[in-house]
Amino acid sequence: MNDCVFCRIVAGEAPAAKVYEDDALCAFLDIRPIARGHTLVIPKRHAAELEDLDAELGARIFRAGHRLALAIRRSRLAADGANLVLNDGRAAFQTVPHVHLHVIPRRHGDTLRFAKGFLLRRPHDPVATAAAIRDGIAALDNKGASPEKENEG
């Protein structure tokens, strides 16, 4: 899909601060984040909406989102929690027609900051933020929580 910005990111034709990639998925920072570390997890194969997505690939997307939420907690970003959100279709406020899971870091007492971030949607040092998340992923790997072990359970 040449007109899909997410497909262009996967193909390396559009810039993105990638934090994770495997044979089927790509995760990168949202260019209009609600909070620092707001990450999108997408399938590499184009699927406009959930109806176009294989159920197993959908499960892989959520497993990756789960892992990224844990990594963000263990990273320098030190989130206290996360919202995992998937907007399916225009009626659900999906703005890019390519399935994507939002992993949005949260902190205790951040309601006002979260609301402000939702309205303003401004980047937060994407290079350092992506590096912090990758460090969080490495911390998970060092604790024995490799993707292969998670997929076995």
Read off the pTM. Answer: 0.86
**Model confidence band, residue 145 (pLDDT cutoffs 50, 70, 90):** very low
**DSSP 8-state code for residue 88:** -
**Model confidence band, residue 141 (pLDDT cutoffs 50, 70, 90):** confident
Residue 28: exposed, middle, or buried by beta-carbon count in 10 A (0-12, 13-18, 19+)? buried
Residue 30: closest CA among 112, 95, 91: 95
Given a cut of 70, whether residue 150 has pLDDT beyond it is no
What is the per-residue pLDDT across 58-71, written as a single tens digit (0 to 9) for each? 999 999 999 999 99
User: What is the set of active-site residues?
Assistant: 100
